[in-house]
Amino acid sequence: MSDPQQQTLNLPSLIFVVILVGLSIRYFFFSASSTNTRSSNRGRGADPVQVDQLQQMFPQLNRRDIQWDLQRNGGSVQATTERVLGGRGLER
């Protein structure tokens, strides 16, 4: 049969496994900081500096549509710019 010494888990390995499992649980279940930041950004209006920046880049767009799109995508100027350049417009 097999040696009982090989079947046991030594203390450093056990500590490593416990820490790894704890960090994994924390990462998957309690890492809502990015989600909270996004949802808090959605709750308020778009940043006027970002709206002005997009208005200067695309003067044909309505300021209100730019604000709505920034609020919809979490304040991402890049996403709004890609949407406009892709020809999709900012329709509601």
Tens-binned pLDDT, residue by residue, of the chain (92 aa):
555 556 677 888 889 999 999 998 888 888 655 444 444 544 567 889 999 999 999 999 899 999 999 999 889 999 999 999 988 777 76
pTM above 0.75, yes or no: no
Reading the block at residue 16, the tokens are 């490593």
pLDDT of residue 79: 92
Reading the block at residue 23, the tokens are 């960090």
Percent helix, strand and coil across the chain, each rounded to 5?
A: 70, 0, 30
pLDDT of residue 31: 64
